[in-house]
Amino acid sequence: HEHWGIQPDIMTLAKALGGGLPLGAMVARDYVAEAFGPGDHASTFGGNPISCRAGCVVFEELLERGVLENCQRMGDYLMEGLQDLASDLGRVEEVRGKGLMIGVELQGPWAKDVVRGCLDRGILLNALGEKVLRIVPPLIVSQADCDRFLEVLREVLKGI
């Protein structure tokens, strides 16, 4: 939401929030939260103290270690590298995404072959249908990691 200057009334958070433990959260502006009274909202997993503590530590790590800044920097770096690769090879229809959540639409139904070729070379990514690669590296990805990925992807796409 911050990328587009949007201030949401309600946000839901989950998955990575718990650092691998089950945790979800809803964050709301005061005027929205005031609409909830005791007993209006319940959860069978609610209030797990270990997961809640993990969530606090995750937030601390994200803020103190510059993880979000790294996401933006490495996301920009990957997007530029993928767009260069697309221009050079001509096998890519479109590169799209924000931060470290990137999709690469291929010109043909090769996504599963590309995923397999990358996996054989130690790179994990996912195919969405026949033509789209989903690239979601870890939030702490380095420039060297990105360079290695781009090198492997280039090699695999050349072989298609």
CA distance linking residue 76 with residue 46, whole number of Å: 37
Low-confidence ranges of the chain (pLDDT < 50): none
Q: How far is CA 131 from CA 75, 85, 93, in A?
A: 21, 16, 9
Looking up residue 125, the CATH number of its domain turns out to be: 3.90.1150.10
**Same domain, yes or no: 129 and 84:** yes
**Is 48 in the same domain as 74?**
no
Instruction: Scan for tokens 């470290």, then name that residue.
Output: 100
What pLDDT score was predicted for residue 45? 67
111's enclosing H/E stretch is: helix 111-120
Q: Give the structural domain span for 122.
A: 67-158
Domain termination site, one of 41, 64, 87: 64
**Quick one: 49 and 87 in the same domain?**
no
Q: Give which of 117, 118, 113, 105 is closest to 149, Cα–Cα.
A: 118
Do 20 and 86 sit in the same domain of this protein? no
Number of other residues whose CB lies within 10 A of the CB of residue 98:
12
25-58 confidence digits (pLDDT tens): 888 999 999 998 887 877 776 788 999 999 999 9
Do 76 and 55 lie in one domain? The reply is no
Question: Given this model, what pLDDT does residue 74 score?
Answer: 98
Token reading at 118:
């990358």
The pLDDT assigned to 110 comes to: 97
